[in-house]
Amino acid sequence: MLAWDASQIRNSRRFGQHLLIDRSVLHRLVEYATLKRNETILEVGAGTGNLTAAIQRRAGKVIAIEKDHRLATLLQQRFRDKDNVKVIVGDILKVSLPVFDKVVANPPYNISSKLIFLLLKRNVKSMTLVLQKEFALRLVAEPGSTNYGRLTVVVTHKTNTELLDFVPKTAFRPIPRIDSFIVRITPKTPITSVNEHFLDQMMLYLFSQRRRTLKGVLRRAMDKGKNETLQDLVGSKDLLNKRIFQLTTSEFENLSNYLYPQRKLFKLLNK
């Protein structure tokens, strides 16, 4: 069965408007989020409000953010009788966000990465999102695979991320080019005591040379004239011989802990 499809917004691809119209997907999305009556849910890009309605029935409160003024007006009309729905007109990347517990959304695809990092800075219990297949696969990629990258490592370092369900492109209107997945991202406290800024800088530098060996990349990043050998610093020859895209998240975390006290030797890693 299809949910409400607002034909008047059909031409707004520039806002990444692909409305989720498959009710069974809407239902599963809300199920996976295990909403509670005392929780406030943030929805990013509420569109015509089909997901908003599903969340509203289960949660304490929904804060629906929508950038397109025409849709925001429709949303306000649709939920004018619901005390527990608050519509905010604005760009999620710019508005000042209210307090919330969880995020449930089918957000615009073009801001997936920015959105996740923005929301991770908040105290959020979980984010249950519909994400485009390629992006979702990058989040959970295995070390050594094509999809594996800085995004995978940073997300694995900060969260438990699960690919829960496949969503075919036919679940949306207009139909996008690419299928999607339901993904649940649950923030965790990193176990190792990593200096986050150093880890970020190190990851940026290392992944700019993803196919090189760790040894080669570090040697280049080291100031000349220092005789501390890399093996003493890192403690493992095997690790040094691996290529950047083959290192696991915990190897990057350990590496960051080894190198941080010696950061003066690695100007390039420590901007």
Number of chain positions touching ligand SAH (CB under 6 A) = 24
**Residue 47 binds ligand SAH (CB under 6 A):** yes
Give the Cα separation of 19 and 16 in Å (integer).
9
Please give the structure tokens belonging to residue 178: 């690419």
Closest CA to 54 of 70, 73, 90, 78: 78
* CB 100 to ligand SAH: min, Å: 15
Q: Please report whether residue 176 would count as binding ligand SAH according to CB under 6 A.
A: no
Write out the H or E segment, with its range, that includes residue 96.
none
Enumerate the β-bridge partners of residue 172.
20
221, 268 contact by CB (below 8 A): yes
Q: For ligand SAH, give the closer residue by CB, 18 or 61.
A: 18
Q: How far is the CB of 126 from ligand SAH (least distance, A)?
A: 17
Alpha helices in the chain (DSSP H): 23-32, 50-58, 69-78, 112-120, 133-139, 150-158, 196-207, 214-221, 230-234, 237-241, 249-259
Sole binder of ligand SAH in the list 22, 33, 39, 50 (CB under 6 A): 50
Note whether 24 and 32 are within 8 A (CB). no
Residue 20 or 155 with smaller CB distance to ligand SAH: 20
Q: Which of residues 55-74 bind ligand SAH (CB under 6 A)?
A: 65-68, 71
Of 106 and 270, CB closest to ligand SAH: 106
Q: Which residues contact 56 (CB under 8 A, 6 or more apart)?
A: 62, 79, 82, 84, 85
Nearer of residues 17 and 161 to ligand SAH, judged by Cβ: 17
C-beta closer to ligand SAH: residue 95 or 204? 95
CB of 162 to ligand SAH, least distance (A): 20
Q: Which is nearer to ligand SAH, 67 or 157 (CB)?
A: 67
Closest of 85, 55, 57, 59 to residue 72, by C-alpha = 85
Of the candidate residues 25, 46, 116, 153, the single one contacting ligand SAH (CB under 6 A)? 46
Using Cβ positions, the residue closest to ligand SAH within the complex turns out to be: 45
Q: Summarize as ranges the residues that interact with ligand SAH (CB under 6 A).
A: 15-20, 44-48, 50-51, 65-68, 71, 91-93, 106, 108, 111
